Amino acid sequence: MSDSPRFNTREAVDFVIVGSGSAGGIIAKELSTAGFDVVVLEQGPYRKAAEFTHDEVDVIFNDSLLGGGPKVSGQTFRDDASKVAQEPFRTPAEYAQTVGGSSVHFTANFWRLRESDFKEKSVWGAIEGTNFADWPITYDELEPYYTKVDWEIGVSGAPGPFDSYRSKPFPMPPMEINSSGVLMEKAAKSLGLHAQVEPLAILTRAHNGRTPCIKCGYCMFFGCEVGAKSSTLASMIPLAEASGHCEIRPECAVFRLETGANGKISEVLYYDPDGNEQSQKAKAVIVCANGAETSRLLLLSDNPRHPDGLSNSSGFVGRNLMFNSHAASSGLFEHQLNEYKGVQVTRVIHDFYEADPGRGFYGGGGIDARAFLSATPVLHAITSLPAGTPRWGAQFKDTIGRSMTRTMSLATGSTSLAQDSNNITLDPTHTDQWGRPAIRVTYKDHPDDLAMATFLQDRSMELLEAAGAEQSWRWPVNPQTGGNHLLGTCRMGNDPGTSVVDRYHRSHEIKNLFICDGSSMVTSGRGQPTMTIMALAFRAAEHIGKAAAAGDI
Amino acid sequence: MHNDDNSRRDFLRGGVALAGGSMLRFTVPGIAALAQAACSAKDESKAFAILTSSEAREFEAIAARILPTTATPGAREAGVIWFFDQTFGTFNAGNLQFARSGLADFQAAVDGSTLFSDLDETTQDAHLKTQDQTPFFNMIWFMTLTGFFGMSKYGGNRNDIGWKLLDVDPTQHAYQSPFGYYDAEYMKEHASE
């Protein structure tokens, strides 16, 4: 922090970056260490590792890392555009509000996409009623940046039998196998499947001056108290600040990008920590606010030249929202697994990754073994008991007591199809705590997405039986009413008529506007998008830096 | 930019939503109750900041049927009622009025003028079975579990009673492999190869 500069808001800095998460943190580091002056505007507070706790009441039920929950955000949800969106129980578009963004509280499962992900439409064919499309880039083009993530962010793991090629090995060995990993291996082997090491954005040994994981068990939903989880807070922000060219401004909520007479973005308007309007002049702006916030900001920044929002001539800003599909099943075992210790996942099955016409629907995904909601005491008690458990009384209490250390869950992550009808728009009546029109989420899973999730859950139940579960049960696969993978809403593409940014994340319409986060993704991948968001960010930063150096902004 | 009123409401809404998202469960008749332990609500009634002693006695009586005292301590010994009192005075204040009116309705459904806390446990359980699908019960259920298993700084989980039931200790921040039975066995097998 001591080297961090304070830039004058009235003098244009080289870049303003909106959001400090998986993409924003990386781009801030890359551009600032290259010598560009960067201001990062982050609406959440600047928490440090030592401030993260194991307090479930605070983190999970009071949504402290999420900025306070749905009543504060004003977010609304509907499953069909013909309906009036309602205030939901849980935030429909969920993301952390803190320096480092959702890379702070994510579980750190870290899959690369495969070659097939980038050209799947060409292989599978068009899917009627969707915007299923190929990416404008290939795995070959992104692979060097995946490797850059491995080494700069810090990823532990080991290659699996179905992985796409990697140009360099993992920088550190995988996490030790835990009991759910052992049971997964046993079950997979008996069914002719392949349990492979789960790559994790968690350090297993000291790396780039950071300490390794202490196996505390509080990865999912919580911030890492030792910085072993490879958030941008732990890995990138300190380097950006040490460059002397990056200022992080926390608790600053951007509400508008102002366009000048030359058609370029001239300044970024935001509310400071006291709620006062401020403006930062900028030569260029990079929006990395996540698939929901990025879309909202572009829609909020409409002007006579861009009546439907910035960079939205195609109408694709906010469209094609993809949450990934999910299903879960659980099993109770004779002996203690103690999954509350260590990381969530050590083994995953990718035998069903590729789409298979033989299934009768499009889709693919993975199945991992994990503690899931039995990692922490309150969540276990209220959400994770075996089917048929009484809801109160002595047997209820005894079951809670016996099951937390003996439960394993199989969580599936799979494809979501891009659809016009799944989108982010501005709610006409609700506002957030800053007074900005609230994010309105409209979403209904495609039938193929639900079919794939159900298919994977069926396989999960077979795995639980093969693993020797005393009892196993499944959670209903229902249409999702929210998500924390916020993908596809400002997709990249070569055609300005069907995409928002080009293959280098530059707006098709505004030369000094760049967008890079989950919104850039053309397809959803199979369920763990953060690795790809980070690789895209390294790649985008390289091209943006080159363009700036060449005066092409 | 924190809105206290809103986050108070969120506390309960979020929890109920999480519980509602879990797998379907079927309520079966409760197990016969064992003898009640000492009533902390009576013992420490003067210390309540928000609840009256009579309110506390009733809330605690309900919590004690949700997580009863058996061979191991229950909601009463864990001081769950102190979680109620403390959080009704802080982030859960937005739910206090709902809890009070719910309690009045709950009591009205008890036969005659008898208080729920004065019923024997078998009768308490029979009454609870007629009430355990109400929003009021859902709230008390959620608060009981959160108070029992959450951090003791919120007033409940005294002496880590909740965590001892689970055989976990969230205050321990570092572990080493092997973590459980199956990975320990795995390590033994692979060590001998």
* Residue B84: how many other CB atoms lie within 10 Å: 30
The pair of three-digit structure tokens given for residue A218, joined into one six-digit string: 């509080």
| Residue A467 Cα, gap to closest chain B Cα (Å) | 11
Q: Which residue of A has its CA nearest to B9?
A: A71
**Which amino acid, residue B159?**
N
Residue A179 to residue B181, Cβ atoms within 8 A: yes
B146 contacts in A (CB within 8 Å)? 56-57, 61, 378, 382
What is this structure's pTM?
A: 0.94
Decide: helix, strand or coil at residue B77: coil
Averaged over A185-189, what is the pLDDT?
A: 98
Distance, C-alpha A390 to centroid of its chain: 36
DSSP state of B45: G
Tell me whether residues B150 and A56 touch, CB distance under 8 A. Answer: yes
Please state the rounded mean pLDDT for residues A416-431.
Answer: 98
What is residue B193's predicted lDDT score, i.e. its pLDDT?
A: 66
- Contact call for A178 and B28, based on CB within 8 A: no
pLDDT at A71: 79
Chain B hits for A335, Cβ within 8 Å: 180-182
Length of chain A counted residue by residue: 553
What pLDDT band is residue A1 in, cutting at 50, 70 and 90? very low
Confidence of residue A90 (pLDDT cuts 50, 70, 90): confident
> At B9, is the pLDDT very low, low, confident or very high (cuts 50, 70, 90)?
very low
Query: What is residue A220's DSSP assignment?
Result: T
Q: Is B130 on the interface with A (CB under 8 A)?
A: no
> B32 vs chain A: nearest CA distance in angstroms?
8
Report whether the peptide linkage leading into residue B178 is cis, meaning its omega lies within 30 degrees of zero.
yes
- With a CB-CB cutoff of 8 Å, which residues 24-83 of chain B face chain A? 24-34, 65-68, 70, 72, 74
Cα A496 to Cα A310, A416, A499, A541, distances in angstroms: 13, 23, 5, 21
Statement: residue B15 has pLDDT above 60: no
Work out the mean pLDDT of chain B and round it to a whole number.
81
Domain ranges of chain B: 33-168
Higher-confidence position of B23 and B51: B51
Q: How far is CA B157 from the centre of its chain?
A: 9
Q: Any CB–CB contact under 8 A between B7 and chain A?
A: yes
Q: What is the DSSP letter of A102?
A: G
Q: Is A280 within 8 Å of A16 (Cβ atoms)?
A: yes
Residue A274: other Cβ atoms inside 10 A: 8
Confidence tier at B40 by pLDDT (50, 70, 90): very low
Confidence of residue A3 (pLDDT cuts 50, 70, 90): low
Mean pLDDT of A478-497: 97
Residue B41 has pLDDT above 80, yes or no: no
Q: Which of B3, B17, B25 sits opposite A89 (nearest CB)?
A: B17
Residue B113 to chain A, least CA–CA distance (Å) = 25
Kindly give the residue spans of alpha helices, DSSP state H, lying in A415-515: 447-466
Per-residue pLDDT reduced to its tens digit, A218-264: 999 999 999 999 999 999 999 999 999 999 999 999 999 999 999 99
Q: Which of the four pLDDT bands, split at 50, 70 and 90, describes residue B171?
A: confident
pLDDT per residue as tens digits for the range A131-167: 999 999 999 999 999 999 999 999 999 999 999 999 9
Q: What's chain B's Rg over C-alpha atoms?
A: 19
Q: Mean pLDDT across chain A, nearest whole number?
A: 97
Residue B18 has pLDDT above 60, yes or no: no
3-state SS, residue A13 = strand
Asked whether residue B22 carries a pLDDT value surpassing 90, the answer given is no
Q: In whole angstroms, what is the distance from residue A401 CA to residue A397 CA? A: 6
What 3-state class would DSSP assign to A327?
strand
- B108 touching A (Cβ < 8 Å): no
**Confidence band for B16, pLDDT divided at 50, 70 and 90:** very low
For A44, name the nearest residue in chain B, comparing CA atoms only.
B1
Q: What is the CATH number of domain A13-549?
A: 3.50.50.60
- Pairwise CA distance, residues B158 & B153, whole Å: 9
Q: What is the pLDDT of residues A283-305, one digit of tens each?
A: 999 999 999 999 999 999 999 99
B21 touches chain A (CB under 8 A): yes
Nearest chain B residue (CA) to A329: B23
Q: What's residue B32's pLDDT?
A: 22
Q: Among A397, A402, A430, A478, which would you mutate to test the B interface (most chain B Cβ atoms within 10 Å of its Cβ)?
A: A397
Which band of pLDDT confidence, cut at 50, 70 and 90, is reported for residue A488?
A: very high
Is pLDDT larger for residue A3 or for residue A189?
A189
Q: Which of A341, A387, A392 sits opposite B175 (nearest CB)?
A: A341
Question: How far out from the chain centre does Cα A214 lie?
Answer: 24
Residue A535 has pLDDT above 50, yes or no: yes
Q: How confident is the model at residue B21 (pLDDT cuts 50, 70, 90)?
A: very low
Instruction: Decide if B112 touches A, using CB distance below 8 A.
Output: no
Tokens of A257: 């990008």
Which pLDDT score is estimated for A70?
Answer: 82
Write the CA distances from A516 to A12, A238, A409, B24, B188, integer angstroms.
Answer: 21, 21, 33, 40, 47
Q: Tell me: the pLDDT tens digits for A436-452?
A: 999 999 999 999 999 99
* Residue A41 and residue A270 in contact, taking contact as beta carbons nearer than 8 Å: yes
List the single best residue of A251, A391, A436, A484 to mutate versus B (max B Cβ within 10 A): A391
- Cross-chain Cβ contact B168/A273 below 8 Å: no
**Across the A/B interface, how many CB contacts are shorter than 8 Å?**
236
Q: What is the mean pLDDT of residues A392-396?
A: 98
Please answer yes or no on whether A90 and B125 come within 8 Å at the CB atom: no
Q: Are strands A38-41 and A13-18 parallel, antiparallel or unpaired?
A: parallel
Q: Is A378 left (phi over 0), alpha (psi -120 to 50) or beta?
A: alpha
Quote the pLDDT of residue B109: 86
Which one of A42, A43, A52, A57 would you mutate to disrupt binding with B, by most B Cβ within 10 Å of its Cβ?
A57
**B91, closest residue in chain A (CA to CA):** A62
Largest CA distance in chain A: 72
Overall average pLDDT of the A50-74 stretch: 93
Of A363, A362, A361, A379, which is closest to residue A371 (Cα–Cα)?
Answer: A379
Of A215, A273, A433, the CB nearest to B175: A215
**How many Å apart are CA A61 and CA A57, to the nearest integer?**
5
